[in-house]
């Protein structure tokens, strides 16, 4: 029997894809950039807002538009202008008529049907836990969401951001930065009271073992898409069952 088919738009190296695969989807990733470490079943290098395929043949569509237009980086003195891809993405998915989910950072113009955090899934490394809150807009039936479990590991927090291998915020808690581009592959260290974490530690916190530090900074933990993908799979299976059920006399 063929697996349900999912489309991952703005796939990056496949953080969301991996979660969808775990629940049984065959996944096609689309991204404007080459993704040599993409983990999905098929990959197409193309504009995710205008994918060169018939999206109506997919059973579920996931989209993670670039978040730079909605992060704190936009307020920096040297901030670059970034396009907001959320409206075009939403329009595309609504017009598809398919079950879908759009993911982005807090502050993005999404209807926050779900907010997920790494502590809901026990993610982290050593004594530091992964928060990484993300918003999800979906046309799937709403589901019960577990509560955040902050500080369950004793107070340490690991952030996964872009640009650096540390969290610049000074707090009383042990803070772990999971960033792209630096941090190296060596062990963790402490500089000026701020915890430094290696790429391996950041990868462990995310539940990802195939990405570079820069790719990690753009990804979501597969646990997030696995959670939502499981609900999508239930919805799709129910639809399939209703179509194949024998007519009653």
pLDDT in tens, 189-213: 454 445 678 899 999 999 999 999 9
The tokens describing 95, both together, are 């017009």
What is the CATH number for 55? 3.40.50.150
Instruction: With respect to residue 175, please indicate whether it lies within any of the assigned structural domains.
Output: no
pLDDT, residue 188, reads 52
- How far, CA to CA in Å, does 136 sit from each of 22, 164, 204? 19, 26, 23
Instruction: With respect to residue 197, please indicate whether it lies within any of the assigned structural domains.
Output: no
Helix axes 222-244, 15-22, angle to 10 degrees: 40
What residues does 7 pair with on adjacent strands?
28, 61
What residues does 6 pair with on adjacent strands?
27, 60
> Do you know the residue count of the chain?
249
Which domain does 77 fall in, by range? 5-116+221-241
Instruction: With respect to residue 11, please indicate whether it lies within any of the assigned structural domains.
Output: yes
CB 64 within 8 A of CB 10: yes
Number of domains observed in the structure of the chain: 1
Lowest pLDDT segment from 12-26, 95-109, 160-174, 189-203: 160-174
Instruction: With respect to residue 41, please indicate whether it lies within any of the assigned structural domains.
Output: yes
pLDDT tens for 84-138 read 899 999 999 999 999 999 999 999 999 989 999 999 999 999 889 999 999 999 9
| Cα distance between residue 194 and residue 133, in whole Å | 21
């Amino acid at each position: 029997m063929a697996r349900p088919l999912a489309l991952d738009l703005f796939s990056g190296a496949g953080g969301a894809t991996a979660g969808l695969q775990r629940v049984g989807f065959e996944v096609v990733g689309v991204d404007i950039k080459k993704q040599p470490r993409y983990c999905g079943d098929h990959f197409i290098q193309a504009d995710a807002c205008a994918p060169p395929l018939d999206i109506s043949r997919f059973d579920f569509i996931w989209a993670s538009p670039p978040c730079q237009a909605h992060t704190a980086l936009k307020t920096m003195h040297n901030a670059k202008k970034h396009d907001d891809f959320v409206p075009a993405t939403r329009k595309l998915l609504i017009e598809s008529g398919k079950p879908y989910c759009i993911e982005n950072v807090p502050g993005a113009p999404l209807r926050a049907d779900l907010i997920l955090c790494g502590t809901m899934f026990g993610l982290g490394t050593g004594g530091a836990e992964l928060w990484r809150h993300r918003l999800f807009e979906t046309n799937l039936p709403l589901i019960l969401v577990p509560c955040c479990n902050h500080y369950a590991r004793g107070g340490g927090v690991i952030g996964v951001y872009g640009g650096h291998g540390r969290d610049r915020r000074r707090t009383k808690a042990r803070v772990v930065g999971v960033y792209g581009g630096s941090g190296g592959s060596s062990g963790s260290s402490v500089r000026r009271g701020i915890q430094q974490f290696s790429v391996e530690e950041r990868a462990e916190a995310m539940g990802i073992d195939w990405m570079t530090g820069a790719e990690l900074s753009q990804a979501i933990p597969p646990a997030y898409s696995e959670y939502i993908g499981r609900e999508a799979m239930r919805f799709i299976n129910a639809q399939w069952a209703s179509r194949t059920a024998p007519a009653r006399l």
